Structure 1
């Protein structure tokens, strides 16, 4: 009798051991997921797009150069992703490709609609536009310089373009950007940013556009008080103009102060890729 019990005990032990071995890959997968599932994300920051190379400048790339960029990125194994996918990933959902890249167009210049969007459509590449609320409303900049809210909403309907805030009325050298002025209290500064965010949301809603809960710092001007106030206003991701790769994990904290590589009109596609390949 004791021998039978001993044999059964050994069999049970072996069965449990075998089940543990079978479950090990899944356990390791969850452990890696909880530990971070770290993914490297380069973000490329464009501004305007023009028709010809002769019109290119520091903040404007030609449509041909943009197309060359996309072809090179795809050939190098990069897969452009949506900002919404990045937000979902950091919050524990979805998945990202092995070599993701995020394309951002700051300011919402009109050239993006005229010359940039056809290129994005041709390759099926998504991008996010950092919208200046007043510029899109026609109360900042020259006539026709920026895409209107209705144009942005229509671009969003294509499924390739997403929108994030570049502030409603703080993209101005008067502050500059969202930085706190000398003598301005932290409470007043936070109230100003909250009001700006509320106004930006109202503009988007009126146009039938949807803003992602993300914010690109105007001029890349950083401010610790602004970062705190933006979070309090519901912002889930912030983008700087500092050039570095981003390490994404399954933690929402990884979405703040994201680095971006500026793509100027004077840079070659090879130079852009060289930036993205930095360690």
Structure 2
């Protein structure tokens, strides 16, 4: 009869505990290594940012607004009150920020101009009529500038109908001309008919499309918007704001080939743009301004150094 070794139920539990202990130790080591790698990557990223700033790069926060309405019942992620917008603009000026235009940014990266010490780009997406009603006078009173990126089909629709309602109307071509000629607003492209996720999400390529089919679709839609705006008396936009922030691998090259100098995403991050580096104006990150957050709290997140 074999001798009893003591490796019955009790021994099995001890082995299980030992195995579990090794697993926990391995997991701890893995987490530590990953933490070290992340810290190293963040350090390297900080070094790259510092190097870009030393070479003349400029930190550029971009703020993204949508609809501006007095009705508090409509407040939400993409609807802000005029009072909150006014507080935002006053905060920026009080803290030394100066608004810049797309044209000034293009000149800067082309080595043809300088930027203020603390530049900020203010953007409005979609082209709601209430931007004219509320944002336009607030900006004009403060000698500030912004870019409004319009959906071409909506501009055409409301140009034809002549309807102007703060809740649901979009800007007509006539209003856009007025806003552009004032020097307060530049006009951006937000697609002609891609701000609709029933067929595709924004500028995303469908899985069923070939690259050539996608290129033709995006080129046709963008050309339609550019042509309509130009024929309406507006300067053809240099900047394209991606509907829903959605784009595909091919999108940037297509828009660059069409002459665009800047694209706007919905990714929340501070940008660094550099003289002699036109590509630094592409895929700019932006901070969406929602309701329900104080001006100070929002800008502690959206402006470099404000939250430190």
* Counterpart selection for 1:153 from 167, 177, 180: 177
Corresponding residue of 1:14: none
| Equivalent runs, 1:1-279 vs 2, <5 Å | 36-138=55-157, 144=164, 145-173=169-197, 174-250=199-275, 251-278=277-304
Distance 2:234 2:293 in 1: 33
Deviation at 1:277, TM superposition (A): 3.3
* Runs of 4+ residues deviating >3 angstroms: 52-55
Distance 1:253 1:278 in 2: 21
Deviation at 1:210, TM superposition (A): 1.1
Any idea what the Cα deviations from partners look like across 1:131-188, whole Å, max 9, x if unmatched?
Answer: 1100111179x95421111211111111110011001111111211111011101111
TM-score (norm 2): 0.76
Distance 1:154 1:93 in 2: 28
**Structure 1 residues 239, 129: CA separation in 2 closer, same or farther (over 3 Å shift)?**
same
Distance 2:252 2:111 in 1: 23
TM-score (norm 1): 0.83
The answer to whether the 8 A contact 1:239-1:259 is kept is yes
Distance 2:179 2:287 in 1: 24
Deviation at 1:109, TM superposition (A): 0.7
The answer to whether the 8 A contact 2:226-2:237 is kept is no
The answer to whether the 8 A contact 2:136-2:184 is kept is no
**Structure 1 residues 66, 202: CA separation in 2 closer, same or farther (over 3 Å shift)?**
same
The answer to whether the 8 A contact 1:41-1:248 is kept is yes
Q: How many residues are treated as equivalent by the alignment?
A: 247
Any idea what the Cα deviations from partners look like across 1:193-218, whole Å, max 9, x if unmatched?
Answer: 11112111111122101133111100
RMSD over aligned Cα atoms: 2.1
Distance 1:139 1:169 in 2: 14
Distance 1:68 1:139 in 2: 30
The answer to whether the 8 A contact 1:131-1:163 is kept is yes
Any idea what the Cα deviations from partners look like across 1:105-130, whole Å, max 9, x if unmatched?
Answer: 00001110111111111111100001
Q: Looking at CA atoms only, which structure, 1 or 2, has the larger radius of gyration?
A: 2
The answer to whether the 8 A contact 2:205-2:247 is kept is no
Deviation at 1:51, TM superposition (A): 2.6
Corresponding residue of 1:26: none
Partner SS, residue 176 of structure 2 = helix
Corresponding residue of 1:13: none
Distance 1:84 1:138 in 2: 28
The answer to whether the 8 A contact 1:51-1:115 is kept is no
Distance 2:72 2:114 in 1: 37
Partner SS, residue 137 of structure 1 = helix
The answer to whether the 8 A contact 2:229-2:235 is kept is yes
